[in-house]
Structure 1
Amino acid sequence: MTPRLYPLGIQTYSEIRERHLLYIDKTEYIYRMTHGNMKYVFLTRPRRFGKSLLASTLKCYFEGKKSLFEGLAIEKLETEWVQHPVLHFSLAGGKYMEKDALERYLDEMLKVEERKWGIENRIVDANNRLAHLIRTAYEKSGKKVVVIIDEYDAPLLDVVHEDLHLVQLRNTMRNFYSPLKDADPYLRFVFLTGITKFSQVSIFSELNNINNISMLPEYAGLCGITLDEIETQMQVDVEYLGKRLGKSYEETMEALRSNYDGYHFAWPSPDVFNPFSLLAALSNGNLDAYWFSTGTPTYLLEMMKKFNTQPSEIRLIEANKDEFDAPTENMTSLTPLLYQSGYLTIKNYNKDFDFYTLDIPNKEVRTGLTRALIPSYVSPNTIATTNTARRLAMCLVKDENMDEALRLLQDFLASVPYCNVKNHEGHYQQMLYVVFSLLTPYMVDVEVHTPHGRIDMMVMTHTRIFIIEFKLNRDAQTALHQINLKNYGKRFALSALPVTKVGVNFDSDKGNITDWVIE
């Protein structure tokens, strides 16, 4: 058995088809999207989820390149294959730019398209140039124009936490997009992709007929790779990976699901796998955090600071649609950005009371996000932190030795540089939450509700539950007394696992654990 060739990092549809690389057939979605009553279509998905490939596929389709679609669903659906002029703009390269640099970037993009249509006498302003370009393409071709704008929000994401800079760049982009409404008589189809949802007023102030398909169930599988697509189009690939891992097909699928599945962009929705990580795992023959290896966006960490979001808050959330599918610049919490960026996803929907349950999609996101938070919330020495977490896991899981685990933590915290934020229990709680969260697949939670109060931290392995109560500048016995007084252990009476109670005291002057009691 030989592996197929996977399109790792390739976002050009024609190259994938011409080189006979693996392509998961999304063309039925494309036909449905382009033959309904929608003319202006908007789609958000997390980074590395196939948005650019989808935009490239649409471009080839509207250019009438029928030969590139042989053997796919759309070959049987489409009968006309009309060639339209396509204006394809990608804003993906417009990151980390000041206003002047962004304007030069737009200028270069427009020049590329203008050269295709023989436009030499260029107008100065970007919006007027786009309007002229659309009209020229329409007049010279005799066909209505298709406009595809990929990663429309790329210039804005990295400054979303900077109010003044955001306003400047947002106005530049709004000016660029403004001709789309008046150009309506010349347009066949307009497609826009991005990661986040900026308000229509701020970006498309006059375009009031955009169809946002991001949360429509019929398009939930448009980007990413669904479980059904794996089982029907990729079984041989999973079998080959299983041979390399020494696992059966069923064991390999379970590992892939645990690491890369779990995304839902609507409800109901098929199970959606992260396509970048899945294909990388199949190609490399091992399971790794590929999505995070391409970098955690700076804007996420900056916005966590802006909204004072603690690591333990990035977990199970119940919210109405308007509370997470909301314009990014109008956020009152970090939830919309976490959802739209792919760090949280839909896990359930309560139809009776109209609310969604959101949670971290899978192991890759949980582990990768935790590691990304280490420098900001624990220590700049990420190697020491992950090594400590590994030793903690050995103590708690193999030996059930909490005493040795706390000694390891004490040694580790002694090496953490002094931090000014040491005057409240929550600082240490969040620090240890990040460390213990590295113990996946074992469960860690904070502020666990019970009938008589909230447990500071709970760690559950396959064989035992640890209830941990923190005190600051007091003593461990007081912490243990609170566990017993409020009968926290009763919360887990039906779990069938033995419970170990742990009282821990921190000294704010030393920035470390000073004593603990285990019962």
Structure 2
Amino acid sequence: MLKSYLKKKLLYFFLVPVGFGKSLFVSTLEEIAKGNKELFQDSYIYNSGYDWKKYPVIRVDFGGKGNITPDNLLLYLEDKLKDVASDYKLTVTGDTFQSRLENLVKNMTDLNDYANKIVVLIDEYDAPFINQLDPVIKESNRLIVRDFLTEIKSLTANNFIKLEFVTGVSSYCFRDTYSGPNNLNDITLSPDYTTVAGYKEEDLLNKDSVYYKRINQLAEKRNISRDILVGEMRSMYNGYKFHPEDDTIAVYNPLSTLMFLQSGELNNYWINTGTPTFLVKKVSKSNVKDFSKPISVTKYELIEPDEDSLTVDGAMFQGGYLTIDKYENSLDDGKLRQMDDPILLKFPNGEVEKSFYNLLFKKFEKDLESEGEYQEDDVIKALSDVDIDGFISILASSFASIPYNAYYQQQNRNEAFYHAVLHAFLRGARMHPESEKCSNLGRIDIVINSIPNLTYIFELKHGKNADTALEQAQNAKYIQQYIRQNKDIVIIGINFGSDYRNLDDYEYKLYDSGGNEIVDRDAFLDHITKRKKVRYRSSRKHE
């Protein structure tokens, strides 16, 4: 397939998620274009009959330019022209960037010992604007890249270019279809290129491959069969499909697969490559769907070039969080597929599904902080008045706002999950919660010391009951470190249930500052009132 890129004049745009080896693929094309045959001795292309002509190459890598300013982006492109010219012992001439680029390309086509056309490789073209937070800088950078690609287009029309290959994770530059770089053939969803990015399982299990040998080593080390290990690897890292036809081969995420084969641990490696800002913004501004079931979209939604029109589904596909499953409807005999035939999307594998729920948790963690901030006055009043019923009512209402699909992940149905979201809510309400507060007999789930004259201790459970939570707090003597601090103490035990995805039981106990239980709430409030009067008289004496 690689050699076909250079058989005739070809102009490609390839959109693929991060971690899929775009840069490595571009580097491979570069070495082939330069005629470096000996690098490929063990590859198919070496003895394929490819003629190994040497082509001058212009490679522009925009990776790592995510925070660049427009002025520096222009300088980078100018410097890149100078670097390329230096590589071929040429000089850059011309009064404008466009003229300097055109003159350089023309001179490169006249080089001795090279073919009379050049190869242009542009990697991560959207990096200067895809994650840019400043809208003015973002649009300025997008226009600079678009104009650069448009100038390449004009040189292609003049027959100077043999191959142009552009990679990215979005289609933003191509929304100006009448004036911009509209000459590129988008192969993202082409059935001919579905396995360009990623590993096929048959390649990983080729008995002559280093992958196969490593898989056997890991299986032996873990004392399990090769089939079991491959099944675990498949479930975690395989599943990406780039076309909806039934015979499309699913591929593995190459980065995660290599990391797994190296470490032997089924970790989430992909999330560390970063989530595109455009996807985070889309998710944070939308009502999150139930992605546990296939999502129906049209093909155009997946490659929508306008960020404002890009749906959450399209953004998740471009960001690598969703992949193609299949066509939603079977094809009638004698019919051809249409552009608007619905396509089903799904999570490709376990790694990505976990990554998505981590992203989703960050979204509703911020939402709960905002909800806590909105409810701050009510929370302060309820806790100051020891109105536990009112406080629990506020919590239950706020927890009801958590997207229901956040509970599909098993790890999001446990005590730690509810602990985290409760902490986020209290933090938003400016209660300054302390989590996992150590005592000599254990860790207190959450402590609030920001209410005047009162200390609140929370013990949380999931799938049990509030009495169990209180019993643990009492047995571990959590109040001991707060006795004699001149503050009365309230212990609240809360149980969260999966059925209603909310708190379903709570109990509380009240103690004076000496650790003596006060059973009746009214008596406790009278006690607090008397203490306030004593403090007031004491302060008056010292004035």
Partner of 2:294: 316
SS of 2:411's equivalent in the other structure is coil
Q: Deviations over 1:86-115 (max 9, x none)?
A: 111111121122222322222332221122
Do structure 1's residue 256 and structure 2's residue 233 form an aligned pair? yes
Kept in 2, the 8 Å contact 1:371–1:438? The answer is no
Structure 1's 251 and 441: CA in aligned 2 closer, same or farther, altered over 3 A? Answer: farther
Question: By how many angstroms is 1:122 displaced?
Answer: 4.5
Q: CA deviation at 1:316?
A: 2.4
What residue in structure 2 maps to residue 376 of structure 1?
A: 363
Contact 2:292 2:405 in 1 (8 A): no
| Contact 1:95-1:158 within 8 A present in 2 as well | yes
Structure 1 segment 25-424 matched on structure 2, within 5 A: 29-35=1-7, 39-123=10-94, 125-141=96-112, 143-159=116-132, 163-184=135-156, 185-198=159-172, 200-202=174-176, 205-232=179-206, 233=209, 234-268=211-245, 269-306=248-285, 308-310=286-288, 312=290, 316-349=294-327, 350-352=329-331, 354-378=341-365
Residues 194-242 of structure 1: CA deviation (Å, up to 9, x unaligned) = 1112253438835443211111122100111011211223322211121
| Corresponding letter in the other structure for 1:45 | V
Compared CA separation, residues 57 and 127, structure 1 to 2 (3 A): same
Tell me by how many angstroms 1:72 deviates. Answer: 1.4
Worse overlay, 117-126 or 266-275: 117-126
Q: Distance in 1 between matches of 2:501 and 2:172?
A: 45
Contact 1:505 1:515 in 2 (8 A): no
In structure 2, the residue matched to 1:385 is none
| Structure 2 SS opposite 1:378 | helix
**Pairwise CA distance, 1:310:** 1.9
2:26 and 2:40 map into 1 onto residues whose CA distance is 15
How far 1:150 moved relative to its partner? 0.8
- Aligned partner of residue 41 in structure 1, secondary structure: strand
The residue type paired with residue 274 of structure 1 is N
SS in 1 for 2:214: helix
* 1:311-335 per-position Cα deviation (integer Å, ceiling 9, x unaligned): 6458621111112222142524122
Contact residue 127 and residue 178 of structure 1 kept, 8 A = no
| Alpha-carbon displacement from aligned partner over 1:389-443 (angstroms, at most 9, x marks no partner) | xxxxxxxxxxxxxxxxxxxxxxxxx99xx99x96794x23x1x64255243899x
In structure 2, what is the Cα distance between the partners aligned to 1:64 and 1:102? 31
Distance 1:243 1:355, change over 3 A: same
After superposition, what is the alpha-carbon deviation per residue over 1:14-47, rounded to whole angstroms, capped at 9, x for unaligned? xxxxxxxxxxxxxxx2023332x55111111111
Calculate the TM-score normalised by the size of structure 1: 0.67
The 8 Å contact of residues 144 and 188 in structure 1, kept in 2 or not, is answered as: yes
Q: How much has 1:124 moved relative to structure 2? A: 5.4
Paired amino acid for 2:44 = A
Identity within the alignment, %: 25
d(CA) in 2 for partners of 1:243 and 1:441? 34
Would you say the 8 A contact 1:92–1:151 is kept in 2?
A: yes
Q: Are residues 88 and 198 of structure 1, via their aligned partners in 2, closer, same or farther at CA, if it must alter by over 3 Å?
A: same
1:215/1:351 CA distance change after superposition, 3 Å: farther
Does structure 1 retain, via aligned residues, the 8 Å contact 2:126–2:173? no
Q: Are 2:406 and 1:434 aligned?
A: yes
CA contact (8 A) 1:264 1:347 kept: yes
Deviation at 1:298, TM superposition (A): 3.4
Distance 1:121 1:194, change over 3 A: closer
CA distance in 1, matches of 2:49, 2:189: 26
Unaligned 5+ segments in structure 2 are 332-336, 370-390, 415-496, 508-543
**1:374 partner amino acid:** F
Deviation of residue 71 (structure 1)?
A: 2.7
Q: Distance in 2 between matches of 1:356 and 1:264?
A: 12
Note closer, same or farther for the CA distance 1:240–1:252 as it changes in structure 2 (3 Å cut): same
Task: Classify the secondary structure of the residue corresponding to 1:374.
Answer: helix
Structure 1, gaps ≥5 residues long: 1-28, 383-413, 443-500, 507-511
Secondary structure of the structure 1 residue equivalent to 2:176: helix
How far is 1:176 from its partner?
1.5
The answer on whether the counterparts of 1:244 and 1:285 sit within 8 Å (CA) in structure 2 is no
Per the alignment, do residues 503 and 345 of structure 1 end up closer, same or farther by CA in structure 2, a change over 3 Å counting?
A: closer
Q: 1:129 to 1:280 in 2, by over 3 A?
A: same
Cα pair 2:37 2:52 within 8 Å, conserved: yes
Contact conserved, 2:291 with 2:405, CA < 8 A, in 1?
no
Which residue identity does 1:215 align to in structure 2? Answer: L
Higher RCO, 1 vs 2 (CA within 8 Å, ≥6 residues apart): 1
Distance 1:316 1:203 in 2: 31
1:296 CA displacement: 3.0
1:245/1:338 Cα in 2 relative to 1: closer, same or farther (>3 Å)? same
| Cα separation, 1, equivalents of 2:173 and 2:314 | 12
CA shift digits 1:138-182 (9 cap, x unpaired):
1234621111111111112113x7654432221111222222222
Counterparts in 2 of 1:249 and 1:502: CA distance versus 1, 3 Å: closer
Q: What amino acid sits opposite 2:117 in the alignment? A: K
CA spacing shift, 1:239–1:174, aligned 2, 3 Å: same
Closer/same/farther in 2, CA of residues 329 and 128 from structure 1, 3 Å limit:
farther
Q: 1:190 to 1:250 in 2, by over 3 A?
A: same
Deviation at 1:191, TM superposition (A): 0.9
Q: List aligned pairs for 1:458-497, cutoff 5 A.
A: none
| Residue type at the aligned position of 1:174 | R
Task: Give 3-state SS (helix, strand or coil) of 1:273's partner.
Answer: coil
Question: Shift in Å at residue 270 of structure 1?
Answer: 0.8
AA aligned opposite 1:250: D
Distance (Å, rounded) in 2 between the aligned partners of 1:178 and 1:347: 34
CA distance in 2, matches of 1:52, 1:502: 44
Residue 355 and residue 81 in structure 1: after superposition, are their counterparts in 2 closer, same or farther (change >3 A)? same
Q: CA RMSD in A?
A: 3.4
Native 8 Å contact 2:354 2:409 kept in 1: yes
Larger Rg: 2
